[in-house]
């Protein structure tokens, strides 16, 4: 069965610094999608970035980028120039066909 593991329940980073959130997953499939979602205190989950497994190039969205290592089944999120508004829970998710699995999340604190 597929699993998604986020090994860091909480992390802190100084404002303007860079932070990397870890995510590993387990699957026997070769074609799937990976996502990072952000959940601020408002509770509304927001898509941060999306990666197709068949693409070798790492996805980038402004200050957010991923390091996708397919063989290692690793999908980490790097946030550059951290801002106070980045403080939130971050969830890594795996999706293939009708199945979507989320990690348990990493709470990110931004220190002013």
Partner 1 sequence: KAGVTQTPRYLIKTRGQQVTLSCSPISGHRSVSWYQQTPGQGLQFLFEYFSETQRNKGNFPGRFSGRQFSNSRSEMNVSTLELGDSALYLCASSTRAATNEKLFFGSGTQLSVL
Query: Which range in 13-21, 65-73, 80-88, 101-109 contacts partner 1 by CB under 8 A?
Result: 101-109
The verdict on 16 binding partner 1 (CB under 8 A) reads: no
Query: Which range in 39-47, 59-67, 68-76, 79-87 contacts partner 1 by CB under 8 A?
Result: 39-47
- Exposure pattern of 51-77 as b/e (b: 16+ CB <10 Å)? bebeeeeebeeeebbbebeeeebebbb
Q: What residues from 58 to 87 belong to the interface with partner 1 (CB under 8 A)?
A: none
Q: Which residues does 22 contact at the CB level (< 8 Å), separation at least 6?
A: 6, 7, 8, 74, 76, 106
> What's the min distance (Å) between Cβ of 36 and partner 1?
12
Q: Given the complex with partner 1, which of 18 and 55 has the nearer CB atom?
A: 55
Query: How many helices, marked H, and strands, marked E, lie in the chain?
Result: 0, 12
The verdict on 46 binding partner 1 (CB under 8 A) reads: yes
> What's the min distance (Å) between Cβ of 112 and partner 1?
26
Q: Hey, CA dihedral for 52, 45, 12, 105, is it positive or negative?
A: negative
Q: Given the complex with partner 1, which of 51 and 82 has the nearer CB atom?
A: 51
């Amino acid at each position: 069965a597929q699993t998604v593991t986020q090994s860091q329940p909480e992390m802190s980073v100084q404002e303007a610094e860079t932070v990397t959130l870890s995510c590993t997953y387990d699957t026997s499939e070769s074609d799937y999608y990976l996502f990072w979602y952000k959940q601020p205190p408002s509770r509304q989950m927001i898509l941060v970035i999306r990666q197709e497994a068949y693409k070798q190039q790492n996805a980038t969205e402004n200050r957010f980028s991923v390091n996708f290592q397919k063989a290692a089944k690793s999908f980490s999120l790097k946030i550059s120039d951290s801002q106070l508004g980045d403080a939130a829970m971050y969830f890594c998710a795996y999706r293939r066909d009708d199945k979507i699995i989320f990690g348990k999340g990493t709470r990110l604190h931004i220190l002013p």
